[in-house]
A and B are shown apart, each in its own frame.
Chain A
Amino acid sequence: MSNHPRFNSIRQTQEALQNKQISCEELTRAYVQSIDEHNDLNAFISVCGERAIAKAKETDSKIVHDDALSGMEGVVLGVKDNILVKGLGCTAGSKILASYTASYTATAVNRLEEAGAIVIGKTNLDQFGMGSSSQFSYFGGVKNPVDPERVPGGSSGGSAAAVKADMCLAALGTDMGGSCRQPASFCGVFGYKPSYGLVSRHGLLSSGPSLDQVGVLAHCVEDIEVIMGVMAGQDGLDANVRLPQFRSRKDVPLNALRIGVPEEFFTDGLDDEIKKAVHDQITMLKKQGATITNITLPHATKEAIATYYIIMPAECSSNLARFDGVRYGTRIEGDGSAGVGSDVIESYLLTREDGFGAEVKRRILLGTFVLSAGYADRYYVRAQQARNMLREGLAKAFREVDIIITPTTPNPAFPIGSKTDDPTTMYLEDIYTVSANLAGIPAISMPCGLSQGLPVGMQIWGRYGDDATVLAVARQLDALNKGQ
Chain B
Amino acid sequence: MEINDVKHIGLLARLKLSDAEASALTIDLNKIVALVETLPATRRSSDDDEEEKNEEEDVVEESNERITRGDETRQDFRITSDELIAASPDHNGRFIRVKKIIDKDA
Question: A-side interface residues toward B, CB under 8 Å?
Answer: 99-101, 103-104, 196-197, 202, 209-210, 236-237, 239-240, 242, 302-303, 305-307, 309-310, 317, 321, 324-331, 333-334, 336, 338, 340-350, 352-353, 356, 358, 361-362, 364-370, 372, 379, 382-383, 385-386, 388-389, 391-392, 395-396, 399, 422-424, 427, 439-440, 464
Residues of A within 8 A of B1 (CB): 369
Contact B89–A440 (Cβ < 8 Å): no
Pair A309/B35 contact, Cβ less than 8 Å:
yes
Q: Which residues in A have their C-beta under 8 angstroms from that of B100?
A: 342-344
Instruction: State the CA gap A122–B70 with chains docked (Å).
Output: 32
Q: Say whether B50 faces chain A, with CB atoms less than 8 Å apart.
A: no
A240 touches B14 (CB 8 A): no
Docked-complex contact A99 and B89, CB < 8 angstroms: yes
| Cross-chain contact of B14 among A99, A242, A352 (Cβ < 8 A) | A352
Interface centre among B9, B15, B37, B52 (most CB of A within 10 A): B15
Checking B15, B63, B105 against A365 with a beta-carbon cut-off of 8 angstroms, the contacting residue is B15
Q: Residue B42 contacts which of A236, A350, A389 (CB distance < 8 angstroms)?
A: A389
Known pairs A103-B87, A364-B13 / 14 extra A-B pairs, C-beta < 8 Å: A104-B79, A237-B74, A303-B40, A317-B13, A341-B105, A345-B14, A346-B99, A348-B14, A352-B13, A361-B25, A362-B32, A369-B9, A383-B39, A427-B32
Q: What chain A residues lie within 8 Å of B83 (beta carbons)? A: 103-104
Given contacts A196-B66, A331-B89, A392-B57, contact A239 B71 (CB under 8 A): yes
Closest-by-CB residue of A relative to B31 is: A424
Chain B count of residues within 8 A CB distance of the other chain: 62
Q: Which residues of A contact B90 (CB under 8 A)?
A: 331
Q: With a CB–CB cut-off of 8 A, which chain A residues contact B66?
A: 196-197, 240, 242, 440
Q: List 30 A-B contacts (CB under 8 A).
A: A99-B89, A104-B77, A104-B83, A210-B67, A237-B76, A239-B70, A324-B14, A328-B87, A331-B89, A333-B99, A340-B16, A352-B15, A353-B17, A361-B15, A361-B21, A365-B9, A365-B15, A365-B29, A366-B32, A368-B12, A369-B29, A369-B33, A383-B39, A386-B40, A386-B42, A389-B42, A391-B56, A399-B52, A427-B32, A427-B35
Q: Does B28 contact A (CB under 8 A)?
A: yes
Q: Does B4 contact A (CB under 8 A)?
A: no
User: In B1-43, which residues have CB < 8 Å from any A CB?
Assistant: 1, 6, 9-17, 21, 25, 28-29, 31-42
Assess the B17–A100 pair: CB atoms within 8 A. Answer: no
Contact indicator B103/A368 (Cβ below 8 Å)? no
Are B31 and A423 in contact (CB-based, < 8 A)?
Answer: yes
Which of B55, B77, B89, B101 is within 8 Å of A343, CB to CB?
Answer: B101
The answer to whether A439 and B103 touch across the interface, beta carbons within 8 angstroms, is no
Measured CB to CB, the closest approach of chain B to A466, in angstroms, equals: 13
| B72 with A396: CB separation less than 8 A | no
A341 in contact with B63 (CB, 8 Å): no
What's the count of A-B pairs with C-beta under 8 Å? Answer: 189
Q: Is B52 in contact with A196, judged by CB distance below 8 angstroms?
A: no
A240/B88 in contact, CB under 8 A: no
Q: Which residue of A lies closest to B41 (CB)?
A: A382
Which B residues from 60 to 80 make CB contacts under 8 A with A?
Answer: 60, 63-64, 66-67, 69-72, 74, 76-77, 79
Task: Chain A residues near B69: list those with CB within 8 A.
Answer: 239-240
What residue of chain A has the Cβ atom nearest to residue B17's Cβ? A353
Do B12 and A100 touch across chains, with their CB atoms under 8 A apart? no
* A211, closest chain B residue (CB): B67
CB < 8 Å neighbour of A395 from B56, B84, B99: B56
Across the interface, which residues of A come within 8 angstroms of B12, CB to CB?
A: 368, 372
Output the least CB separation between B49 and chain A (Å): 10
A388 to B68, CA, bound (A): 14
Write the nearest CB–CB distance from B36 to chain A, whole angstroms: 5
Determine the distance from Cα of A368 to Cα of B88 in the docked complex, in whole angstroms. Answer: 26
Interface string of B90-106 (1 = CB under 8 A from A): 10000010111111011
Expressed in whole angstroms, the Cα–Cα distance for A325 and B96 within the complex equals: 11
Structural contact, A347 and B98, CB atoms closer than 8 A: yes
CA separation between A80 and B38, bound complex, in Å?
34
Q: Closest residue to A427 on the B side, CB-wise? A: B35
How far apart sit A439 and B39, CA to CA, in the bound complex (Å)? 17
Q: A305, B35: Cβ atoms under 8 Å?
A: yes
Given contacts A326-B88, A464-B63, contact A353 B15 (CB under 8 A): yes
Q: A342-B105, A344-B99, A365-B10 are in contact. Are A395 and B35 (CB under 8 A)?
A: no
Beta-carbon nearest neighbor of A195 in chain B: B66
Q: Give the distance in Å from the alpha carbon of A224 to the alpha carbon of B52 in the complex.
A: 35
A321 surroundings in chain B (CB, below 8 A): 14
Nearest residue in B to A107 (C-beta to C-beta)? B77
B51 to chain A, nearest CB (A): 11
**Which of B59, B72, B79: most chain A Cβ within 10 A?**
B59
Q: Are B106 and A341 in contact (CB under 8 A)?
A: yes
CB distance from B27 to the nearest CB of A (A): 9
Complex Cα distance, B62 from A240, in Å, reads 12
Report whether A338 and B16 are in contact in the complex, using a CB–CB cutoff of 8 Å. Answer: yes
B15 touches A349 (CB 8 A): yes
* A423→B28 contact, CB < 8 A: yes
Q: A361 vs B26: C-alpha distance in the bound complex, in angstroms?
A: 12
Residues of B close to A310: CB separation below 8 A: 36, 39
Option from B28, B57, B86, B89 in Cβ contact (under 8 Å) with A325: B89
Q: Which of B21, B28, B55 has the most CB atoms of chain A within a 10 A radius of its CB?
A: B28
